[in-house]
Structure 1
């Protein structure tokens, strides 16, 4: 099999894995509404698993693309949204007890999204290190809740803290980056002064 064909197959397979999260979201919501909690929790766990593997696979097989980055961002948001709605359906008392924190996060997300639409006319796909960390702690919290494991409240506050910081970072990135970019590591890497290439001829003359 030639390299081009392998690359095309890898591209479609990896984007298909990402697409699963997006396509499955409404079906997962339907399962939650119908009270199929066992099916819901295992399939949402599978969605989080696909989120964990599609990024490393795309880097390993070098099939990163703007389309893939945007698809991944939308699929991630859909998974978190359906997880939150599932939490509201199955554990409504938890939502009521922490609604102020949750509302604050949704407000930050709304500000970030509106700012991106104004600046770039599309949502961001920064995929910062903080965003990847937030995705992990969010997944841990939701799985703890849906599988009725302990430490859910502690995981909730950790997830909210990391997510809040991540959203603030992305709001700042939207403000300071004039053009849409994918796979931005974070503010530190944007602000870090770039080392100027050394002019070998000049370097030799200065010795």
Structure 2
């Protein structure tokens, strides 16, 4: 019985386990927010963001990409983003309230994108577009810098702008793909693949 359970864990690779780390660290991050342990929270959030960068690299480098891995990665990313935003709300509430109208734009679009994906696919997307990766990096840098040192406004506006463009692209990609797919580089590449398929059919 125990051996059978252990065999289940053998199905997961190192990239999956790094995604699991982000998922399992989420409740601890929530506890650190509740306890008002800003520095501990920020360092643990830094580790979570670091695992996000590492697991994607390992998955591509050692050909460990899979539908399961993409979904785990997306879930870990979403939970880490939620943790970061909740941390900002608690530790930098004045900054958030001063800029709430601007912050609300990408947030509303993001929620809308998730709702559309759930209705269309029954689950969240895992496109992992280039814009999504760039947006995630900028968000991580801004959130960590804000928590460690304070706000940098040019970076804040850049994060908002890229976040809006990236989310709109994801909504367009959902409209272009009838069925759930993973690892779509972006709108340009999706259109190129669509034209290629049309030429093959004709």
Same structural fold, with TM-score higher than 0.5 when normalized by the shorter chain: yes
**Higher CA-based Rg:** 1
CA deviations on 1:128-161 (whole Å, 9 max, x unpaired) are 0000000110011011111115x62221111111
**Cα deviation, residue 63, structure 1:** 0.9
CA deviations on 1:68-117 (whole Å, 9 max, x unpaired) are 00111111011011100000100100110111122111210111011111
Say whether the 8 Å CA contact 1:44–1:83 is kept in structure 2. yes
Say whether the 8 Å CA contact 2:45–2:84 is kept in structure 1. yes
**Cα deviation, residue 10, structure 1:** 9.2
- Give distance in 2, aligned partners of 1:130 and 1:95: 24
**Cα deviation, residue 12, structure 1:** 2.5
Q: Which residue of 2 aligns with 1:201?
A: none
Q: Which residue of 2 aligns with 1:188?
A: 188
What SS does the aligned partner of 2:65 have?
coil
TM, length-normalised to structure 2: 0.88
Say whether the 8 Å CA contact 1:11–1:63 is kept in structure 2. no
- Give distance in 1, aligned partners of 2:65 and 2:12: 8
Q: Which residue of 1 aligns with 2:3?
A: none
Say whether the 8 Å CA contact 2:14–2:55 is kept in structure 1. no
Q: Which residue of 2 aligns with 1:142?
A: 143
Q: Which residue of 2 aligns with 1:204?
A: none
- Give distance in 2, aligned partners of 1:72 and 1:22: 9
Number of residue-to-residue matches in the alignment = 189
What SS does the aligned partner of 2:196 have?
coil
Q: Which residue of 2 aligns with 1:111?
A: 112
Say whether the 8 Å CA contact 1:117–1:123 is kept in structure 2. yes
- Give distance in 1, aligned partners of 2:51 and 2:69: 14
Q: Which residue of 2 aligns with 1:29?
A: 30
Q: Which residue of 2 aligns with 1:203?
A: none
- Is 1:19 aligned with 2:23? no
The two structures, once aligned, show a CA RMSD in angstroms of 1.7
Q: Aligned runs of 1:45-84 on 2, under 5 Å? A: 45-84=46-85
- Give distance in 1, aligned partners of 2:121 and 2:142: 32
Unaligned regions of 5+ residues in structure 2, if any? 1-8
- Is 1:169 aligned with 2:172? no
- Is 1:97 aligned with 2:98? yes
TM, length-normalised to structure 1: 0.86
